[in-house]
Amino acid sequence: MNSTTPHVEARVSHDQHSTQTVSPTPPPPRPPPPPPPLPLRRKNYGKLWGPYHHPTTRLPQRQQHLRPPPERSQVVHLPKAPALAPLQNRIGAGRPSKYFLEERQREEYVNICVPLYNAALKGDWHVAERIIKACPEVIKMSITKRQETVLHIVSSTKHTEFAENLVNMMAVEDLGLQNKDEETALCVAVTSTIKMVDVLLKRNNGLIKIRKKGDLPFLCAVFSGEKHMVEHMYKKTNLEGERWNYSDKQRMLDSCLAFGHLDIALDIFNKSKKKGILTIDTRALRSLAYNPTAFEGKVRPVFRRIVNTLHLGSRTRPLESSKAARIVRIMWREIVKQENVLKALSGKSGTEKVEGLHFTAARLGNYKFLIELLKLCPDLTWDIDDKKHTIFHIAVTHRQENVYNLLYELGSKKLGTTDNYGNNILHLAAIKPAQDRLNIVSGAALQMQREILWFKEVQSRVNLVDRRKVNKQGKSPQELFTDEHTKLMEKGETWMRQTAAQCMVVAALIATIMFAAAFTLPGGNNDDNGHPILMKKSAFKVFVVTDAISLCTSCASLLMFLAILTARYAENDFLRSLPVKLIVGLVTLFISIANMMIAFGASFFLLYARSMKWVPVLVTVLAGLPVILFVGLQYRLLIDVISSTFNSRHLFRPKKRMLY
């Protein structure tokens, strides 16, 4: 009671002092102050949307005089949303009010924004409609910390009916409200559905030009990666209009090229070229140089696997009709008209020197892109970079055989040049490449085999002097190869020994089992003459033959794996000897396992075919499980070994010409 007394006395004294003060003259007239925000009286709206209690509602203006002034403790002043400038006069439509995000409005946030947010995610329009009708201002206010309105929330979902009802209740300019990341609801909707985009644009077509940090909504669709959405947004953008400037179209072109939307990129280029508003330079082609897959045809995954296994890809011609090739051809034709095309290729980005397009394509193995460049500018063939490397030196360094194979059409007159470290192209073949290039084949032994193939191939292309030439470290190519691949050889030896040892155990077990089964025939022998009792049945013949095949092949597999364990593991052994032994061992082991299971099933047919016919059928089906598991587990290894060993002749020297 004592704590409140000073406050009361101070108020009374203040009132007394104010009553004693008398102005001698009346004050000059002042303009009337702006009307205060309309008071909102707390009211229980729990029956509207369930357990949540809506605390505020606005009284109609015509009813303000009918109700006495509310008590100060019950009034909540809800400010109006900030006025928005006309859409065509500004870049963004503005930010929604953050009234509900204030700490003092925490109760209102929980009672209004949270139910509205949940209703938007669920697509429950009945609940949302009641909340909005009770508090119309919430429709254009932030309901999350990212300053998202309810329209932002529903635009990220697939509830198009909810969104359609919502936009019909909103003012046209409120559809352009931006969240904390400057995203309009349209920028969010491009990650949802095409129908959601149409709902927004039907109500306000001007959303198509409200930017997110300088980027158009079309670019938001490109970054999302959905092809159909990108095509739809491109149609809505309508490049024929005058509202798009040069930088917009250049950005759209570069983004479409970078994300693989080549149809749209080609259309943008053609339309802009007619008006002469695009300056074509190497920046537009750089994204294609970094994307070798853009030049590949539409090949089914299974067929692609077969092509890669048989190395048929290196013997086919480039896809002349591919969209990426056409774009490169058209743009490159414009670029080569410049006076110094080599300087343009290795231009600068600010103060940083940028790698030339032809060097980038060679490093990434984008040989089809490179072919288009060389057709119109053959001088690129022997152009050198800062390290004095040509495209073929780079191809050898990064083990890009498709680029290297262009040598067979261009000649190798300048392969003897040395770089800044005194290395010729054979030295580069002796240096171990990056791990991602080694991992093209599985297993350290096969990686060593691929390295030997590369070294011998390049060695056959240089003269005797270059084969013996030493670099600045005083090492010849052969010495450098041995030093660089010592650890890889050790890993290859370990991998080969472990593989052989594990498979040899299986082969030995099969040989032991099948040898014993040959003398313990199902059904037993006749005591009079010693002949098998069931020898006249066809299942018995199957048993005997498969038992013999399994025994012989398991013994052959055992010998192959034993030869691998006792090999000397020289460099050249990894080229043919060891891989061939591994192939023979794996194939014979597979044959022995398959025949062992067949013999096992045949013995059950001999013993139980008359009494229980379902038993041999079930056993035969189950007997196929080990065979299937072995094939599934060892298939990739066997295919890699066969492909790397017997199809290596197709790695180089393509049968068909690729350039001319």
> pLDDT at position 76, please?
37
| Nearest residue to 79 via CA among 102, 62, 63, 110 | 102
User: Quick one: how many helices (H) and strands (E) in the chain?
Assistant: 31, 4
* 493 φ/ψ angles, rounded to the nearest 5 degrees: -65, -45
Beta-carbon contacts of 416 under 8 Å, excluding residues fewer than 6 positions away, are: 424, 425, 462, 463, 465, 466
Q: How far is CA 282 from the centre of its chain?
A: 25
**Rounded Cα gap, residues 182 and 211, in angstroms:** 8
pTM: 0.71
Q: Tell me the C-alpha to C-alpha distance, in Å, between residue 605 and each of 40, 522, 542, 548.
A: 90, 10, 10, 18
Domain chopping of the chain, boundaries:
92-204, 492-652
Of the spans 268-277, 359-368, 375-384, 535-544, which averages the highest pLDDT?
Answer: 359-368
Instruction: Pick left, alpha or beta for residue 415 (phi over 0 → left; psi -120 to 50 → alpha; otherwise beta).
Output: alpha
pLDDT greater than 80 at residue 306: no
Whether the Cβ atoms of residue 192 and residue 225 lie closer than 8 Å to each other = no
- pLDDT, tens digit, for every residue of 50-99? 444 444 444 344 334 434 444 433 333 444 443 433 333 333 458 899 99
> 31 or 658: whose pLDDT is higher?
658
Burial class (CB in 10 A: 0-12, 13-18, 19+), 632: exposed
**Rounded Cα gap, residues 543 and 601, in angstroms:** 8
> pLDDT at position 19, please?
40
Q: How far is CA 640 from the centre of its chain?
A: 25
Residue 300 binned pLDDT confidence (cut-offs 50, 70, 90): very low
Beta-carbon contacts of 647 under 8 Å, excluding residues fewer than 6 positions away, are: 309, 310, 311
pLDDT greater than 50 at residue 449: yes
* 14 φ/ψ angles, rounded to the nearest 5 degrees: -65, -40
| Rounded mean pLDDT, 94-117 | 91
- pLDDT, tens digit, for every residue of 490-530? 999 999 999 999 999 999 999 998 898 888 777 666 666 66
- pLDDT, tens digit, for every residue of 455-477? 999 999 899 999 999 999 999 99
Average pLDDT in the chain = 79
Instruction: Give, in words, the CATH class of 92-204.
Output: mainly alpha
3-state secondary structure of 357: helix
Cβ neighbours around 260 below 10 Å, total:
19
